[in-house]
Structure 1
């Protein structure tokens, strides 16, 4: 039971962290954590101030270990891998979607239904990323499968038939 509770606490923390971009990919925070001149104790103090009220003691201890081992700059990668494993353990299929503009609630429900049918899973979590470079449409990545329903992909496909490089 304790493991399941910790799994939920960590998953919630990493979900929030990735959504809010409270990670070392944040430029100023990344520079702070990457700076070898700044003492580990100062880094720990910052983590305590920022996260202490929002996370369990287990997650806070984990962040402190990352600082001690010089791995705090890998926090985003750790979070992504952790969520991938947690979702797999919970039988949740994660679909990464790139689109030009955000979906309406009806479109999102329809896309989730299609992905559920395609993957034969009970639950699907969409990770939506806005990418204006697609020109129109969207792409969906589930595991190693990619469905390209974007205008950019269609243009690339036509260009390959015409032996033109874009």
Structure 2
């Protein structure tokens, strides 16, 4: 892990609010992406991201030395998102274009439009999956986590992660074929 992040975590564990603020700045977009990938609704994802950081702030002193802050934070984000989705049963989506990487200033307008349209199709398709499949796909594709890391974040066996990933991707393929949508 980045030495800078380790220093912020150490200071935040000692009660330094500014250091925790730096952690929020560093990880807020990643937390938002994973939350959005699971709940599929922009405002809900924003609220979940905020709740995630509040929970992390309140319990950072409990963070074990052998656990990376990022994995720990993403576990909070994933669990908060999954619990929210279960409680709300929301079936809406908002275009995902606002949560992608910053626009490349060298990108052509046509390229930018194509990227936005592709992200919207992905968001619409992900929203049709059961939350178990959305969670692993969001953590893998939007969070960039390995299967082992996803297993740790969701507190499920590695085999379950692989199975859910496989089933989720199969369901996505069927949805793409059914709708004639190209990703």
TM-score range, shorter chain: 0.3 to 0.5
Bigger fraction of residues in strand: 1
Q: Give the TM-score normalised by structure 2.
A: 0.34
Q: Which one scores higher on RCO, CA 8 angstroms, separation ≥ 6?
A: 2
Mark the structure with the bigger radius of gyration: 1
Q: Could you state the TM-score of these two structures normalised by the residue count of structure 1?
A: 0.37
